[in-house]
Amino acid sequence: MAKKLYVGGLSYDTTGDTLKETFAQAGTVETATVIMDRMTNRSKGFGFVEMASDEEAQKAIEMFNGKELDGRTVTVNEARPMEPRREGGFNRGGRGFGR
Residue 87 has pLDDT above 80, yes or no: no
**pLDDT number for residue 76:** 98
Task: Give a yes or no: residue 94 inside a domain.
Answer: no
**pLDDT number for residue 25:** 97
d(CA 37, CA 88): 20
Task: Calculate the alpha carbon distances from 97 to 17, 49, 73, 86 in Å.
Answer: 42, 37, 38, 13
CATH of the domain at 43: 3.30.70.330
Indicate the range of 23-27, 49-53, 93-97 predicted with least confidence.
Answer: 93-97
**pLDDT number for residue 47:** 97
- The structural domain count of the chain equals 1
Task: Give a yes or no: residue 83 inside a domain.
Answer: no
Task: Give a yes or no: residue 23 inside a domain.
Answer: yes
**pLDDT number for residue 92:** 55
The domain of 29 spans 3-78
d(CA 51, CA 77): 12
**pLDDT number for residue 83:** 79
pTM, two decimals, is 0.81
